[in-house]
Every structure is written in C-alpha cells, then in structure tokens.
Amino acid sequence: MSNPHKNSVAQLEQVAQLLKSDYSDKELLFDKAIEKLKTPDVVYETELEVTMDDGSSKKFKAFRSQHNNARGPYKGGIRYHQDVSKEEVKALSTWMTWKCAVTGIPYGGGKGGIIVDPKKLSEKELENLSRSYADFLSDKIGPWVDVPAPDVNTTGQIMAWMVDQYQKNLSKKGLIQENPLGTFTGKPLALGGSEGREEATGLGGVMVLERLIEKMGFDYKKNVSIAIQGFGNVGYWFAKHAAERGYNVVAVSDSKGGVYVPEGLNPDKTMECKRANGSVVKCLCNEKLCDMKNGKVITNEEVLELDVDILVPAALENVIHKDNASKVKAKAIIEMANGPITPEADKILSKNNIILVPDVLANAGGVTVSYFEWAQNLQGYYWTRQDVVEKLLPLMENAFSDMWEMKEDHKVDGRMATYMTAVKKVVDTMILRGSI
Ligand code: GLU
C-alpha cells in the first residue's frame, strides 16, 4: 500500500520543478518554502480513553495535523476509520492547504483522524469518543487557529457533540467570550450550520462537471454517462445533482459492491433502497423501489473499469493504482474522494490522454461552504440556500478556469495545473510574510 504522505511530497516536488522558473529572482526563498511545505507545521497525536457501554475503557489512537497557516487558520475535517494513520492524516492536511488555495478561501490546511471503525460503536460510545477527541483538541483549535469539520464517517451530530464539549472546556477556563460556533463547520442547521453544507461537496463537483463537459465538447448531457465509486454523502449528492441536470448516472457503488444500469439510475430511489437494505447491491431485486430491471451487480473494481464518459471516484484513497490504471476506459476522471489516484497511476492516465480534475479542485465545494458557514457564525447572520449556491458557483467556476488556463499554457495534466495555481498562492503568501 503506498504511503499517502510520500505521494503528497512527490506531487509537491513535481510542481516545484514546474514553478521554479517563475521565481528566478527569489530562488532561495522559493526552495525554503517548498521544503517547509513538505512537512506539516505540527502533528499532534494521543490515545483517547473512552468509556464503553459495558463500563470498561478502551483506547483509540487519534491525530490532528496542522500543515500550513500562511493563508489563514488551519482548516480540514476529522476522519473516523480503521485505516487512519499518521501518514494519511499528514497527507490529507497537505491536500487541504492546496484545496483552500484553489478556490481562494482564506485558510490553510489541517486534518484529524481517529483509528476506529465507528460502525462497531454504539451511539453513546461514539459520543464519548467524540467528546474525548474535542477535549484533546480544545487548546489547539479556535476560529482563528484551526477549524475542524466532518470527513469520512463523521457527521453533523458528531460536530454538535464536539462544539458542546469545546464550549464546556472554554467555560471551564473562563473564556466565555470566545465563539464556539466558529470553531467547527459542518454543524447541523439547528446549531449554527449552513444551508447547503450537506450537499456542497457533491454540488461543487457537478458545477465543475458542467464546465468540463463544455471544454470536452459534449453538447447533449443525456449522452454523457457517469460511473461513481462510492455512494456516501459525496457520491450521492454528486449523482443527484448530475441526474437532475440530465446526465446519465449509470453506476454507483458502496463498500459491498456496485450496480451498473446502462439506461441510467435514479439516485434518490437508489439511496432509499440502500438505506432499507444496507447496500446498493441489494437493490436490483427490488425493481419497484429502484427501477433497475436492466441492471447488474458489479464489483467496486469493475466500476472503475466501465466504458463511460466520466468516472467519479468518491470513496477512499489509492483506488486507482499502477495495476488497474491502464484498464480505465473513461474519457475523464473527476476525483471527488481525496487522493484516489496514486502518482504511478497518474502517469498512466495522463499517457492515455484521460482528462483529470483533481480532488483539491473537484471536491473543494465542501470546504468552501464550510468557509461560508464560518463567515455566517462570525457575523451571526444566516444566509439562504440560494445565497450559498450563488456564492459557491463563481468560486468553483473560477477555480476550474484557472486550472484549465494553466493546463493549456504549460501543457500539463489537470493535477499539475491545479497544484501549480495552489502552491503558487501559498508560496507567494509565505514570501510576503517574510518569515521563511
Ligand atoms: N472533509 C472535507 C474535505 O476534505 C471538508 C473539510 C472542511 O470543510 O473543512 O474537503
């Protein structure tokens, strides 16, 4: 299994080579900035002690990586997963620095994670774990320091427990004037959340899809077929917004496998069926609910190899690697998961002329609406869903145009083009601060 942090450093080194000539008068500063960006500013780690339902206590390893805060407070989600590792959290925090720079929101990058399979915990144990993590974080975060959010397997409810615990810790220290709501995003609407946050990552991805389709010269959306690996929050909202705009979503999958329906599936019915039966693979038997009579069950690997126009990996990292990259038949890939393609696979895809919209651009809608949520919390004034969607659109579209322009000008792939714009913004700010 490749090391995600090493991958993120390899990507940065490649970008640095391409950007170097822009900094001929500041070569030393540029080199120093790149060197600094290879390692997070700080990585905290601990063992959380959690009381279980049977009265015993259990330990869980937890991390928070703060990568860079040149452009603003560290920002990024918290992941609960059995495969979380320090190296993964470091990589994810690095990608958050680029992601925030891509849409131009005023943050740096951070990421947290706990090694846990949340499906094995009861609701109460999950709450205890989340409160214990908030205790660990309390003196390391704040609206102007580090602003956590949900990521894989973390929800609005988990953010609500964390805000509550964080606020209790502030009160204990007599810091009652601090704003606890502005310290976490992805909160439920009733507790300072933003309209549109839940759907934001998927919706932002579809805003990018629309511009990509224009550039690729497709003129009739119904002919554009899309396969999505992953049908959690991101995959579902991507599928829903794409289908509503007339695209043909032909496959979705979850951890148990996928379904392929050449004439297109209905994301809402499929989600309803997944909820009722535990997985999309159980949905073909129930034609009335899911309307998939001509579909078939396929594996997660087969989803990646379907002959479709657009492939959307929306689950975990490293799913497209050197051994399966040459089997990808899609014309373009929109990376809705973080880090789903390894650097070796990138090279193969690029050689095969597969257009790539990388994670830090494609899934930036989530953190961008987190920024809107934070801005609303700090103002104490709340926007409508329409306000959110109207403000998200130009940020996603501009980020896409910047990427495309860079791609054409420098004859590089989508990832390099996006990283070049992002790394340049971060390095310029570091030089401007004069602290390197
Ligand atoms: N976890 C999401 C991401 O990777 C959202 C982060 C945030 O809103 O801070 O982009």
pLDDT in tens, 31-70: 999 999 999 999 999 999 999 999 999 999 999 999 999 9
**Nearest residue to 79 via CA among 312, 355, 315:** 315
Q: Give the separation between CA 119 and CA 255, rounded to whole angstroms.
A: 13
Confirm or reject: Cβ of 193 under 6 Å from ligand 1: no
Judged against a pLDDT cut of 70, whether residue 287 lies above it is answered with no
Task: Give the distance (Å) from ligand 1 centre to CA of residue 97.
Answer: 11
With a CB cutoff of 8 Å and minimum separation 6, the contacts of 111 are 64, 65, 67, 76, 77, 78, 79, 89, 90, 92, 93, 96, 151
Alpha-carbon Rg for the chain, nearest whole angstrom, is 21
Task: Give the distance (Å) from ligand 1 centre to CA of residue 150.
Answer: 6
CA 99 to ligand 1: nearest atom: 10
Structure confidence at residue 290 (pLDDT):
65
CA 151 to ligand 1: nearest atom: 1
Instruction: List 142's β-bridge partners, or say none.
Output: 146
Phi, psi of 261 (to 5 degrees): -130, 95
According to DSSP, residue 320 is labeled B
Please give the share of the chain, as a percent, with pLDDT higher than 90. 89
Mean pLDDT score of the chain, rounded to an integer? Answer: 95
Confirm or reject: Cβ of 77 under 6 Å from ligand 1: yes
- The residues assigned a catalytic role are 111
- What is the pLDDT confidence band of residue 285, given thresholds at 50, 70 and 90? low
- For the whole model, what pTM was predicted? 0.94
According to DSSP, residue 291 is labeled -
Task: Give the distance (Å) from ligand 1 centre to CA of residue 262.
Answer: 32
**Nearest residue to 18 via CA among 431, 425, 417:** 417
Q: pLDDT (tens digit, 9 = 90+) per residue, 142-152?
A: 999 999 999 99
CA 148 to chain centroid, in Å, comes to 13
SS (H, E, C) 217-244: CCCCHHHCEEEEECCCHHHHHHHHHHHH
What would the two tokens of residue 125 be? 């144990």
Please name the residue that has the structure tokens 């038997």: 285
With a CB cutoff of 8 Å and minimum separation 6, the contacts of 55 are none
CA 75 to ligand 1: nearest atom: 9
Q: Give the separation between CA 77 and CA 166, rounded to whole angstroms.
A: 16
Please name the residue that has the structure tokens 């601090």: 178
Rounded average pLDDT over 214-230: 89
Rounded average pLDDT over 166-181: 92
User: Is residue 166 a contact partner of residue 146, using CB atoms and an 8 Å limit?
Assistant: no
Instruction: List 46's β-bridge partners, or say none.
Output: 62
Structure confidence at residue 343 (pLDDT):
86
CA angle 198, 199, 204 (to 5 degrees): 130
Confirm or reject: Cβ of 76 under 6 Å from ligand 1: yes
Comparing 92-96, 219-223, 226-230, the range with the smallest average pLDDT is: 219-223
Q: Domains plus CATH for the chain?
A: 4-175 (3.40.50.10860), 198-357 (3.40.50.720)
CA 150 to ligand 1: nearest atom: 1
Task: Give the distance (Å) from ligand 1 centre to CA of residue 368.
Answer: 8
Structure confidence at residue 327 (pLDDT):
98
What would the two tokens of residue 76 be? 């990024």
The residue whose CA has the least distance to atom 8 of ligand 1 is 367
Confirm or reject: Cβ of 370 under 6 Å from ligand 1: yes
Structure confidence at residue 313 (pLDDT):
98
Task: Give the distance (Å) from ligand 1 centre to CA of residue 359.
Answer: 11
Structure confidence at residue 223 (pLDDT):
84
Confirm or reject: Cβ of 366 under 6 Å from ligand 1: yes
Task: Give the distance (Å) from ligand 1 centre to CA of residue 367.
Answer: 5
Three-class SS state of 373: helix
Rounded average pLDDT over 214-223: 83
Q: pLDDT (tens digit, 9 = 90+) per residue, 293-303?
A: 678 999 999 99
What would the two tokens of residue 394 be? 């130009």
Confirm or reject: Cβ of 315 under 6 Å from ligand 1: no
Q: What type of residue is 84?
A: V
The residue whose CA has the least distance to atom 9 of ligand 1 is 76
Structure confidence at residue 138 (pLDDT):
97
**Nearest residue to 204 via CA among 296, 301, 102:** 102
Pocket test for ligand 1, best of 84, 92, 96, 100 (most atoms within 8 A of CB): 96
- What is the pLDDT confidence band of residue 332, given thresholds at 50, 70 and 90? very high
With a CB cutoff of 8 Å and minimum separation 6, the contacts of 22 are 424
Structure confidence at residue 289 (pLDDT):
55
- What is the pLDDT confidence band of residue 4, given thresholds at 50, 70 and 90? confident
- What is the pLDDT confidence band of residue 288, given thresholds at 50, 70 and 90? low
